[in-house]
A and B are shown apart, each in its own frame.
Chain A
Amino acid sequence: MSSTATGSTDTLTPVLTSGWADERSWTLDAYARRGGYAALDKAFAMGPDAVIEAVKDSGLRGRGGAGFPTGMKWSFIPQDNPNPKYLVVNADESEPGTCKDIPLMMASPHTLVEGVILSSFAIRAHTAFIYIRGEVLHVIRRVQAAVAAAYAAGHLGRDIHGSGYDLDVVVHAGAGAYICGEETALLEGLEGRRGQPRLRPPFPAVAGLYASPTVINNVESISSVPSIIANGAEWFSSMGTEKSKGFGIFSLSGHVQRPGQYEAPLGITLRQLIDLAGGIREGHELKFWTPGGSSTPLLTAEHLDVPLDFEGVGAAGSMLGTRALQLFDETVCVVRAVLRWTEFYKHESCGKCTPCREGTWWLVQTLARLEKGQGSEADLDLLLDQCDNILGRSFCALGDGATSPISSSIKYFREEYLAHLTHGGCPFDPAASTAWSDRTVGATA
């Protein structure tokens, strides 16, 4: 056995994305041609506990934002609990900037389905659910079709591959609610209720869906499992950094020449990614960016060399989150950007707890006033105060996330807030930031 090879790994390492350009990549035939579903027999021979061990050994951490070790989460399922065990895939992908699970399910839904089978087998679940946000019709079609094809091929249903193992999978369409990405709110939605988070403990591993032991994992986490079982834990952990193992899909959007999906070992830097993407758009420079969606504090051009792994981004004062790299150049008003995100959190607040329900409303009021050039410098302290009253006091992480863009933008761009006051409104031309701004010749500098 060779030792781990961190450092000698290629800059990009397509695994989950590797089949996306194949002819009719979403079909069972295309997936089978790539060796798809071969990991099942291997897992059945290994047994459930060995599958959990392999996922633990791989170092895979949740790809849905929080980075909790996946194998450890699975091992929390109390196997002596007499209730059925459930696997629920979180395919709600709604965190602003996050756009990796949707193309994965569109191009390669069978990768997810194979992952669901392996993961369900490991935790001894016989029913699994894929909860997909409702606003992505074609993705839902592709996953429905993949599940149907997997049944027809004997990869799902009774006595899969003659192993004696049974599994049913239900594809469930949500109905529009960011909060249903939060795992306990998702369970409420899946039980046919308003999507409001539950008190924890008990954690879902003990009392989740129908008060039964439940594992909830992100699409990309579950989709990483087939490659781990097929290629081995050591293969997976040979990529990435010391505590952030493996590969992940990095999603570049905004003012970059070639926005899109880049699958790389964890620990790649934004500088490397922007280079690969052909640079920031012509004639402009990076101003601010989110490392992992709008709920992760903003970073700036100072942070181009931060390793994009859980520890590196944490040390820089933010979070790796979902690797949703939204890039904004100097034409973008940070106050406008932050106000829009804050309006989003206000709209999506489920209303269950006061700090978030009332707090996000106040944040919008204060920010909107500032953006119009009204109010005073003291409003910045008021904003930070309001953030203090939400952060750590909210029932779930939505409230905390709502404060991230505000506090981080005041930290890095205080002057720009003040410029709105001296200017009597926003000093930026919104036309300069659009995708077609270069067509209005000479209009912008």
Chain B
Amino acid sequence: MGTKLNHESLAELREIAARYPQPRSGLLPMLHLVQSVEGRITPEGIEACADVLGISAAEVSGVATFYTMYKRKPVGDYHVGVCTNTLCAVMGGDEIFARLKDHLDVGNDETTADGKVTLEHLECNAACDYAPVMMVNWEFVDNQTPESAVQLVDDLRAGNEVRSTRGPRICTWREAARVLAGFPDGRADEGPSAGPASLVGLGIATERGWSAPDADQTDQADGSTDHPVAEEAHQEAAATADAGTKEAEAAVVEKESPTTETAAEKGDAR
């Protein structure tokens, strides 16, 4: 299989290395770029990184094998992760993972015959308040059930547009890897500020009129900037807290919905 790394990719590898005071610091993002071009870590990709950095291929290879996000085998268009660390596992992650293995007829870290979906169980992805958590191409898909998970992978395989519950339209795995390499895709403004669970405490504080003390009660220093909270924001947070996180489940994985509508807002509407 020939490499897809062309002159442009090599220039981009050099560009990554140049972001750092010492070029070798660029190696992790450079390997992300290799994956975005090649679909995995290839021997050619390892050589290219080694050439750019002036280190041995063995050194690059040693790094590539250390980190779990780097894949030796080709990954499907959609990397589907199910968190099975303890909290998510007991909340249903184990059942979801078992159902997906069965439904897709693959084992852990395997890809469906159509090359669309690679299934992998994940460690805690820092979203435990949305358990059970799934990730598609490292975008959050919160509060899953076995049924919603099956729907999700079916939609991905059918080519339907799928949205992260706390993020944008889901792109391909290779496009995601390019962002990780430090080449933004212009989608930062898609998706909500926060999911409902992230706002629960803020909502309660707003309802009850709780806040941090005023700065001038504790400190006479001049020019101190209080960080005032806009009134509408307060109300919005309170409404979100009311809606609770249970409803969020229903808003999971929305298809063809306008980008500005958040899962939280959908929860409100119900």
User: In B157-184, which residues have CB < 8 Å from any A CB?
Assistant: 164, 166-168, 176, 179-182, 184
Closest to A86 in B: B21
Q: Is the CB of B212 within 8 A of A239?
A: yes
Of B32, B132, B194, chain A has the most CB atoms within 10 Å of the CB of B194
Of B124, B182, B224, chain A has the most CB atoms within 10 Å of the CB of B124
Q: Is the CB of A238 within 8 A of B213?
A: yes
| Nearest CB on A from B173, distance (A) | 10
Chain A positions 34 through 49: 1 when the CB is less than 8 Å from some CB of chain B, otherwise 0 = 1110110010000000
User: In A229-287, which residues have CB < 8 Å from any B CB?
Assistant: 230-235, 238-239, 247, 250-254, 257-264, 276-277
| Nearest CB on B from A321, distance (A) | 14
| Nearest CB on A from B151, distance (A) | 14
User: In B40-90, which residues have CB < 8 Å from any A CB?
Assistant: 53, 62-63, 66-70, 81, 84-87, 89-90
| Nearest CB on B from A404, distance (A) | 13
Q: Is the CB of A230 within 8 A of B199?
A: no
Give every chain A residue within 8 A of B212 (Cβ-Cβ): 9-10, 13-15, 18, 235, 239, 247
Give every chain B residue within 8 A of A4 (Cβ-Cβ): 218
Instruction: Pick from B31, B129, B140, B210: contact of A259, CB below 8 A.
Output: B129
Bound Cα distance A4, B21 (Å): 44
Q: Is the CB of A14 within 8 A of B201?
A: yes
| A174 interface hit (Cβ, 8 Å) | yes
Bound Cα distance A268, B67 (Å): 38
Give every chain A residue within 8 A of B140 (Cβ-Cβ): 136, 138
| Nearest CB on A from B80, distance (A) | 13
User: In B183-205, which residues have CB < 8 Å from any A CB?
Assistant: 184-185, 187-189, 191, 193-205
Chain B positions 2 through 35: 1 when the CB is less than 8 Å from some CB of chain A, otherwise 0 = 0000000000000000011110111111011000
A27-B189, A173-B32, A430-B90 known; A134 vs B200 contact (CB < 8 Å): no
Bound Cα distance A176, B176 (Å): 14
Q: Is the CB of B62 within 8 A of A96?
A: no
Instruction: Pick from A10, A38, A178, A264: contact of B123, CB below 8 A.
Output: A178
Bound Cα distance A357, B179 (Å): 33
Q: Is the CB of A25 within 8 A of B193?
A: yes
Give every chain B residue within 8 A of A170 (Cβ-Cβ): 19-20
User: Which of A300-308, A311-319, A334-342, A364-372 contacts the other chain?
Assistant: A334-342
Q: Is the CB of A42 within 8 A of B218?
A: no
Instruction: Pick from B124, B205, B219: contact of A234, CB below 8 A.
Output: B219
| B258 interface hit (Cβ, 8 Å) | no
A138-B191, A232-B224 known; A260 vs B210 contact (CB < 8 Å): no
| Nearest CB on B from A151, distance (A) | 13
Instruction: Pick from A210, A235, A430: contact of B213, CB below 8 A.
Output: A235
Q: Is the CB of B201 within 8 A of A21?
A: no
Closest to A141 in B: B188
Q: Is the CB of A172 within 8 A of B28?
A: yes
Give every chain B residue within 8 A of A254 (Cβ-Cβ): 87, 90-91, 128, 131
Instruction: Pick from A22, A145, A258, A430: contact of B95, CB below 8 A.
Output: A430
Q: Is the CB of B229 within 8 A of A19?
A: yes
Instruction: Pick from A23, A175, A191: contact of B24, CB below 8 A.
Output: A191
Closest to B95 in A: A434
| B109 interface hit (Cβ, 8 Å) | no
Bound Cα distance A138, B213 (Å): 33
Of A12, A194, A294, A431, chain B has the most CB atoms within 10 Å of the CB of A12
User: Which of A100-108, A197-205, A388-396 contacts the other chain?
Assistant: A100-108
Q: Is the CB of A253 within 8 A of B29?
A: no
| Nearest CB on A from B12, distance (A) | 15
Give every chain B residue within 8 A of A21 (Cβ-Cβ): 193-194, 199, 202-203, 233-234, 236-237, 240
A102-B126, A107-B193 known; A340 vs B84 contact (CB < 8 Å): yes
| B250 interface hit (Cβ, 8 Å) | no
A195-B66, A435-B92 known; A136 vs B204 contact (CB < 8 Å): no
Give every chain B residue within 8 A of A251 (Cβ-Cβ): 128-129
Chain A interface size, under 10 / 10 to 19 / 20 to 34 / 35 or more: 35 or more
Closest to A33 in B: B230
| Nearest CB on A from B105, distance (A) | 23
A137-B180, A430-B95 known; A253 vs B218 contact (CB < 8 Å): no
Closest to B133 in A: A99
| A53 interface hit (Cβ, 8 Å) | no
Bound Cα distance A259, B142 (Å): 13
Give every chain A residue within 8 A of B168 (Cβ-Cβ): 138
Q: Is the CB of B217 within 8 A of A19?
A: no
| Nearest CB on B from A285, distance (A) | 15
Bound Cα distance A177, B213 (Å): 39
Chain B positions 212 through 236: 1 when the CB is less than 8 Å from some CB of chain A, otherwise 0 = 1101011111011111111011101
Instruction: Pick from A178, A235, A250, A261: contact of B218, CB below 8 A.
Output: A235
Instruction: Pick from B25, B90, B195: contact of A192, CB below 8 A.
Output: B25
Give every chain A residue within 8 A of B81 (Cβ-Cβ): 135
Nearest first, the 4 A-B pairs at minimum CB distance are A232-B219, A192-B27, A260-B200, A262-B201
9 additional contacts (CB under 8 A) given A34-B230, A98-B124, A328-B90: A13-B213, A18-B212, A135-B81, A135-B122, A140-B179, A233-B219, A259-B131, A324-B128, A344-B124
Residues of B within 8 A of A (CB): 19-22, 24-29, 31-32, 53, 62-63, 66-70, 81, 84-87, 89-92, 94-95, 122-132, 135, 137-140, 143, 145, 164, 166-168, 176, 179-182, 184-185, 187-189, 191, 193-205, 208, 210-213, 215, 217-221, 223-230, 232-234, 236-237, 240-241, 244-245, 249
Q: List 22 A-B contacts (CB under 8 A).
A: A5-B213, A12-B201, A14-B229, A17-B199, A34-B227, A35-B225, A35-B226, A99-B126, A99-B129, A103-B195, A135-B135, A137-B138, A137-B179, A138-B187, A141-B179, A172-B28, A173-B29, A252-B129, A259-B130, A261-B202, A276-B201, A434-B92
